[in-house]
Amino acid sequence: MAASGFEGFEKRLEIHFSGDDPAIEMGGLRQLDFDSLEQVLHAVQCTVVSAVSNQYFDSYVLSESSLFVYPTKIIIKTCGTTQLLKSIRPFIHFACQMGLIITECRYTRGNYIFPKAQPYPHTSFKEEISYLQDQLPNHLCYRKASVMPSKFTSHSWHVFSACDKFYPIPIPNDQYTVEICMTDLDLVLARKFFKNPDTTGKQMTEVTGIGEIIPSALICEFAFDPCGYSMNGIDGDRYSTIHVTPEDGFSYASYECVGSVYDEDDIDRILKKVVQVFLPGTMSVSISCSSSSSSSEISTRIVKAVEPLGMKRRNCTIDEFPAAGTVVFQTFTLTGNR
């Protein structure tokens, strides 16, 4: 717990590995036993509260956000005063035991609401980058760190990326990741994330409309006491995740998903529904895609989707990163009355 309230803004780490086909065919990183995962999470200072899997990956709802384990990829995001970057060395160690070697690392986060409450190595972005540089092996030699600004001091985007190749590691050119951070949630909508004695996570999913964002997804959710909510959605080989800190004065919600530019109007529909569920006063949207043209197309679709709901775009920043490709960062504010 932070000094003045709970820190909603997450730190996010994505690590890619490669190895011999037999190791990957046997499940790769999914072979990690639960005790090993608990060791990593203990270093980060969080625990597993719920889990669900399918044939493609394992999904864990954490006491502070989420963990996704694919055969050759790990995505972990944690909020509060967790020490996310302390997971890097253990993950690399366990992967090495399986014959896998790290090939790519990405770290992203927004602006902490309570930065002075963050422990080492998260006391500043400079400190985080210094720690990352020390933790990663030398063969990840192509590295870049940058803060993508906005007109609002409360919303900027911190990005670090490292890889072992000059060009991005091949991924489908149509694939993208969307990370949304929302503050100043509508008070009435935020109250739906406060728990009554008999409230379940499933009930929160239904009453808030979260279950309608991606109807085809299998949702694994958790309602926190006295308030707060987390969910992971799995839909084939794609994940989505939501985390909500609803307290007035520092209310926050995040939404993240992966998609394809060939999904027709999926991202348009998803963004509309996300805004309707939370109606934030301020929202930032980061899009990461290997193709700059695809990133531009998706960002334009997002603007067209949310502006009719009263969300006006205030700025747009574009940058290129090793492995991560093109990152487009946009901020929006709500105009008019709720």
Give me the catalytic one of 16, 46, 59, 65: 65
Return the CATH class of domain 11-334. alpha beta
Place 170 in a pLDDT band, splitting at 50, 70 and 90: very low
At residue 206, does pLDDT exceed 70?
Answer: yes
Tell me what the mean pLDDT of segment 321-333 comes to. Answer: 90
Distance in angstroms (rounded) separating the CA atoms of residues 141 and 122:
23
Q: Which parts are annotated binding residues?
A: 6, 64, 224, 247
Residue 48: the pLDDT is 96
Closest among 338, 329, 328, 322 to 160, alpha carbons compared: 322
CA-closest candidate to residue 56, choices 255, 290, 233: 233
pLDDT for res 175: 80
Mean of pLDDT values over 216-242: 95
61 — phi, psi (to 5°)?
A: -85, 130
Q: Does residue 319 carry a pLDDT above 80? A: yes
Q: How far apart are CA 240 and CA 165, in angstroms?
A: 28
Share of the chain above pLDDT 90, in %: 75
What does the pLDDT average to over 307-334? 91
Check pLDDT > 50 for residue 227.
yes
Is residue 42 part of the annotated active site? The answer reads no
Angle between helices 88-97 and 125-135 (to 10 degrees): 20
Task: Note if 243 is an active site residue.
Answer: yes
- pTM of this prediction? 0.93
What's the rounded Cα separation, in Å, for the pair 258 and 195? 29
Model pLDDT for residues 231-269, shown as the tens digit of each residue: 999 999 999 999 999 998 899 999 999 988 777 668 889
Please give the annotated binding residues for substrate, written as ranges: 6, 64, 224, 247
Given the residues 87, 230, 290, 299, select the one marked as catalytic: 230
Catalytic hit among 243, 254, 290, 294? 243
Instruction: Summarize pLDDT for 46-94 with one digit per residue, the tens.
Output: 999 999 999 999 999 999 999 999 999 999 999 999 999 999 999 999 9
Do the beta carbons of residue 229 and residue 201 sit within 8 Å? yes
What type of residue is 203?
A: Q
Residue 169 reports pLDDT greater than 50: no
Of the candidate ranges 22-31, 153-162, 320-329, the one whose mean pLDDT is the lowest: 22-31
Mean residue pLDDT of the chain comes to 90
Counting residues of the chain whose pLDDT is more than 70, the rounded percentage is 94
Confidence of residue 338 (pLDDT cuts 50, 70, 90): low
| Residue 144 pLDDT > 90 | yes
Is residue 102 scored above 80 in pLDDT? yes
Q: Is 16 a catalytic residue?
A: no
